[in-house]
Every structure is written in C-alpha cells, then in structure tokens.
C-alpha cells in the first residue's frame, strides 16, 4: 500500500484510554495518531465509531467446522480455508492461529478419525504465501494425547514450518474438560448417535489407550514444541497439580482451565489464562466447568478465544469492558494480550509503527456492530 489513508472522527481504543482522534495509515502501518476532533483534509469520517486493533485469535475450531460441516462430510480443503478466512475477517479477527489436530485414531469400533494435519498445514501455508488470504494465518497444532499416531504426525513437521502454538490436549473422559462423564456422554452421543453399548465400548477403548500412551505422548508433545520453536499451551487443566506439571514442562498459556483452583495456580505461576468467549456470553461453560465471568470478576482471566463461534470474540471483549468498567482492558484480552503471549510484537495496539490491522465498530444496546476490518492497511471487510 502506498497511498495514505486517514480515518478521522473516531473513538480510538488505546492501551489504557479511549480518545477522540485520527489515525493515519501508510504502507500497511499506523504512521500517526492524533487526538482531537479536527478532521484533516481528505480524511474518512468514522462518525464517532470505535477504532480498535484487529482481533488476535489463538484457538479456534472454526476451520474444522468448515472442513466437516457434517460428521461424515469432508469439504474441499481450499474452499473451506477461504470460507474460514472470509468469515473471520467479517468478525474483526485479523490474526488467527488455525487449530489443526495432530494425533489420530485408526482402530477401534467407533469414531475413527484419520491424519490430515500435514496436508492442511501445507494448504494453509501455500494459500498464505500466494496472497489468497485476507488476514494473517498461523499454525496451531492441537496434540491429542489420547491418540495412536501422534509421534508419526509430529515427525512430519520441522522448524521451517514456523509453528506458532503447540497445545497438549487430553480429552479422555472422566477428567479435565469432561470430569463429569455424563457431560461427555451427552456430547458424544448427541454428535455421533452412539447407542448405549457403542458408547460404553468407546469409553473403554479411550481409557485403555490413555493408559498405554498418555505419559509418553505428553512428553513427546513438550519435546515437539521445543523442536518446532512453538509456544507451549496446556488445555483444560483442572487441579493445581496439573497446572504445576504444565508449568514444569514450559507451558506459558493455559487454554480453558476448568476450575477456580487451576486459574489461581496459573496466576501464581505466571501462566496466561485463556477462556472461551462463548462461555462468557452464554453465562457458563457448556461442559459444566467454571464460568469465564467468574474468573473475570476474580481478575483471573487474561485472554479470550472465540473457540467455536468467531463472532463471539468482539462481543465478549465489549462485555468484559462493561464488567470491568474499562473498555481498553476488555479489548486488550483479544488484542494486546494474545499478541504478547505468542511473541507478536508488531500488532495488538494502536500506536505508530504497528501493523495497520484495525476494526471499526459501533455498539447497539451493548452489542458491537462491526462496520469495517483492515488487515495491513487494506480493507478486508
């Protein structure tokens, strides 16, 4: 981009205040920020709407939803990536870490799922390098500890892939996210239409698999994150002991801790706590775990993730701003804080020299209405 863009008459959400002012954009960067109500010549009138940094999403299942819109459907990958990319741009997300599962189950009688991570990463990276994507895409490898092929799939990635995040996930029922086995049964049987015996067989299979490979796969995940140069995250920590074990492995982000005790331990050990935006908006966890709002009121929530609803990210940031009485702080949970957590120093705040990743929105009865999205100074929505 070589032409200068001036956005005036906006409420600018800065790091610690909201000011009325103007932003100048040139060559994909924020060049200058001025406070005041005077609109420079040639400026676009933002009509008093908010301007904020583009949203940074660290964990989303949205790509998988486009890849498999139904349990038995495998949608064409490039079409799914493009649809995912456009949807995120339309919700204000300008940087995303696309969550891709590593670790498959190829045996057993129910719910088999195969390898796809290497192919999917190749396709995302190819489309990114070809300039076909509107926003900034990075790779997040979700390591399924309770799986059969994790080691082989990790072996297909190298440091040249520039993996951003590796997260350790153990979805074995009866612990972590599904400590309440009845919640797991409701989820699995509702999604896959299992009968009584089929469900019991599936649970027994997972217990046996976790017993066989759980410890070795957890250690391999830690090693893979180091080898790939990725930020290491834990997932669904429930107890203080689990958080302490995560910290000892080098974990710096905790995705969706399920209890207050786990979140308190994260805070004490300097681990950033990520909670789901849908949890905040719905008023509670769909799995029966700790409510995001409860952690927010205890000052134990650092970062929000849209998880399975991209549009929830901006909504939840505005809602947090209302809970805390501090809109810049609420917005930081979806901009500056996630960017800092993964070492992206060139985005996440409105200041000179940063990437011109911006969003414009109004607020209608507490609900944000996204008007425009810019990625590296180019309007993408």
Instruction: Provide the pLDDT confidence category of residue 188 given band limits of 50, 70 and 90.
Output: low
Residue 191 is predicted with a pLDDT of 62
Tell me the pLDDT tens digit for each residue of 113-154.
789 999 999 999 999 999 999 999 999 999 999 898 999 999
Residue 1 is predicted with a pLDDT of 42
- pTM attached to this predicted model: 0.91
The token pair that represents 109 in the structure block? 């009688």
The token pair that represents 177 in the structure block? 């996210």
* CATH label, 54-348, candidates 3.50.50.60, 3.20.20.140, 3.90.1530.10, 3.30.70.270: 3.20.20.140
With a pLDDT cut of 70, the percent of the chain lying above it is 91
- Give the span between the Cα atoms of 128 and 49, in whole angstroms: 31
pLDDT reading at 190 higher than 60: no
Residue 333 is predicted with a pLDDT of 98
Mean pLDDT of the chain: 92
User: Higher model confidence: residue 172 or residue 156?
Assistant: 156
- Give the span between the Cα atoms of 310 and 100, in whole angstroms: 16
Residue 285 is predicted with a pLDDT of 87
What is the mean pLDDT of the segment spanning 5-20? Answer: 97
The total of other beta-carbon atoms located within 10 Å of residue 31's CB is 16
What is the mean pLDDT of the segment spanning 237-244? Answer: 95
pLDDT reading at 178 higher than 50: yes
CA angle centred on 231, ends 225 and 236, rounded to 5°: 90
The total of other beta-carbon atoms located within 10 Å of residue 92's CB is 31
Pairing state of beta strands 378-379 and 367-375?
A: antiparallel
140, 134 contact by CB (below 8 A): no
Query: What do you get for the CA distance between the two ends of the chain, in Å?
Result: 17
The token pair that represents 110 in the structure block? 């129910």
Residue 175 is predicted with a pLDDT of 60
Nearest to 105 by CA among 209, 253, 189, 248: 209
The token pair that represents 275 in the structure block? 């909670």
3-state SS string for the chain = CCCCEEEEEEEEECCCCEEEEEEEEECCEEEEEEECCCCCCCCEECCCCEEEECEEEEEECHHHHHHCCCCCCCCCHHHHHHHHHHHHHCCCEEEEEEEEEECCECCCCCCCECCCHHHHHHHHHHHHHCCCCCCEEEEEEEEECCCCCHHHHHCCCCHHHCCCEEEEECCCCCCHHHCCHHHHHHHHHHHHCCCHHHHHHHHHHHHHHHHHHHHHHHHHHHHHHHHHCCEEEEECCCCHHHHHHHHHCCCCEEECCCCHHHHHHHHHHCCEEEEEHHHHHHCCCCCCCCCHHHHHHCCCCCEEECECCCCHHHHHHHHHHHHHCCHHHHHHCCCHHHHHHCCCCCCCCCCCCCECCEEEEEEECCEEEEEEEEECCEECC
Tell me the pLDDT tens digit for each residue of 30-46.
999 999 888 898 999 99
């Amino acid at each position: 981009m070589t032409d200068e863009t001036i956005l005036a008459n906006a409420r600018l959400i800065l790091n610690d205040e909201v000011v009325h002012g103007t932003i100048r954009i040139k060559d994909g960067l924020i060049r200058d920020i001025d406070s005041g109500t005077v609109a420079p010549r040639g400026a676009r009138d933002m009509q008093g709407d908010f301007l904020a940094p583009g949203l940074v999403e660290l964990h989303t299942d949205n790509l998988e939803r486009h890849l498999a819109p139904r349990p038995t459907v495998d949608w064409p990958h490039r079409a799914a990536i493009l649809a995912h990319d456009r949807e995120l741009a339309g919700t204000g997300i300008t940087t995303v870490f696309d969550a891709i599962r590593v670790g498959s189950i190829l045996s057993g009688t129910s719910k088999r799922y195969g390898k796809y991570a290497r192919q999917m990463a190749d396709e995302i990276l190819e489309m990114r390098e070809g300039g076909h994507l509107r926003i900034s895409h990075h790779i997040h490898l979700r390591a399924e500890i309770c799986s059969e092929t994790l080691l082989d799939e990790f072996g297909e990635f190298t440091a040249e892939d520039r993996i951003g995040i590796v997260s350790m996930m153990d979805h074995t029922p009866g612990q972590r996210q599904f400590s309440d086995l009845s919640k797991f049964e409701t989820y699995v049987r509702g999604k896959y239409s299992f009968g009584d015996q089929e469900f019991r067989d599936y649970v027994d299979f997972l217990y046996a698999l976790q017993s066989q490979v759980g410890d070795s796969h957890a250690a391999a995940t830690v090693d893979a994150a180091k080898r790939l140069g990725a930020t290491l995250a834990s997932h669904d920590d429930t107890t203080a002991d689990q958080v302490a074990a995560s910290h000892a492995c080098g974990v710096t982000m905790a995705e969706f801790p399920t209890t207050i005790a786990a979140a308190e331990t994260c805070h004490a050990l300097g681990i950033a706590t990520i909670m789901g935006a849908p949890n905040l908006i719905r008023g509670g966890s769909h799995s029966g775990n700790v409510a995001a709002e409860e952690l927010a009121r205890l000052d134990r929530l650092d970062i929000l993730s849209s998880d399975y609803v991209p549009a929830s990210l901006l909504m939840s940031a505005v809602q947090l701003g209302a809970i805390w009485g501090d809109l810049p702080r609420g917005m930081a949970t979806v901009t500056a804080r996630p960017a800092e957590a993964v070492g992206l120093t060139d985005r996440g705040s409105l200041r000179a020299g940063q990437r011109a990743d911006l969003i414009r929105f109004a607020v209608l009865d507490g609900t944000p209405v996204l008007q425009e999205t810019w990625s590296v100074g180019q309007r993408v929505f």
